[in-house]
Amino acid sequence: MPVPDSRGHDRETAPTPLPAHQATQYNITVRLAILIVFVLLAFAANTLLCRIALGRDLIDPISFTTLRLLSGAIVLVAMSRLVAESRPAPTQAGSWASGLALFVYAIAFSLAYVSLDAGIGALILFGSVQATMIGLGLKSGERPRPVEWLGLAMAFGGLVYLVSPGITAPDPLGALLMSTAGVGWGVYSLRGRSATAPVAATAGNFVRTVPMAAVASAVALSFVRAEGTGVALALISGTLTSGLGYVLWYRALRSLTSTRAAIVQLPVPVLSALGGAVCLGEPLSARLVGASALILGGVAMAVLTRAQRTYTMSH
């Protein structure tokens, strides 16, 4: 805005720079937002890669899981030797509990996508993730307000509606498996908030899943089938959208509360459903659209209320 100088002439005032601490916080926020966008795209891509491979019978689900986890472990171990980050103690470079949660998620995820469409599968997955994270919050002593209970009831009602019997209801076993995957991912995500070295921690977790996947492969040896395209999709999922994507997720989790970590995953089912419709020709049924509105709206109501409550109490 022009202001008069000492001689009465107009001159433009220079914009007032942000204080150093505000500028730093702004830069951190922008970087975190960009990081989260890449993570969400990786999560949605995982859904599409798995659904393409299994829906078109290009590979069996156990082999897909094994290749996904093994390739992720190889890439992440190599990355952990190259990336400059604080070297954690051996006990902090992943854990068997986190490795088990990751394996449960990965194998149930693959088995579920044999029979589920991308959008429905992602919706069940992340509905279960939210329920797990909020449930663990209740166990730790959090007490929701009435509006939070309303949101949770709405989300649960949407999930029940989605999986209830009917012409467009998803396969019951597939829905159960995907719910199990959601519990595994919720536990894995919450455990990752304490990771100080995300590359090393993610590598450690992936390495610990390899013997579990090997046992599963041995049990299902008679069902093994794999075409080149299916193997390639599993390797892309393991090295890029899983391995590198989960490193970014662990890095983002350091700056997120469990409530915010729940919130930022909400767009994934929508992205997956749109991707399934565009790339795979999967239908956007009225049941899916209605259930999406109930589940995402209810969860958003619950977690956003919790976030506002946390913010109010901290100020």
Q: Based on the structure, what is the number of domains in the chain?
A: 1
| Helix or strand holding residue 160 (H, E) | helix 146-163
What are the tokens at 306?
Answer: 């919790």
* Two tokens, residue 267: 């767009």
* Backbone φ, ψ for residue 93 (5° rounding): -85, 70
6 falls within a domain = no
274 in a structural domain: yes
Q: Does any domain span residue 16? A: no
310 part of a folded domain = yes
Asked whether the beta carbons of 54 and 110 are under 8 A apart, the reply is yes
Q: What are the mean pLDDT values of the chain's consecutive 10-residue runs (315 residues total)? A: 54 52 56 86 92 93 97 92 66 83 96 89 85 76 72 75 67 93 92 82 94 96 93 96 90 76 75 82 79 77 59 50
Decide if 5 is inside a domain: no
Note down the domain range covering 280: 29-314
Other Cβ atoms within 10 Å of 122 Cβ, number: 30
Find how far residue 103's CA is from the centre of its chain.
14
Query: Could you tell me if residue 128 is inside a domain?
Result: yes
**Degrees to nearest 5, angle at CA 192 with 37 and 69:** 80
Q: Is the separation of the CB atoms in 271 and 40 below 8 Å?
A: yes
Asked if residue 176 is part of any domain, the answer here is: yes
- Residue 11 phi/psi, 5-degree rounding, is -145, 150
Picking from 270, 288, 261, the residue whose alpha carbon sits closest to that of residue 130 is 261
Q: What pLDDT score was predicted for residue 240?
A: 93
Element (H, E) at 12: strand 10-12
Q: Residues 164-193: pLDDT tens digits?
A: 666 567 889 999 999 999 999 999 988 887
In a domain, 275, yes or no: yes
Q: Where are the beta strands (DSSP E) in 179-298?
A: none
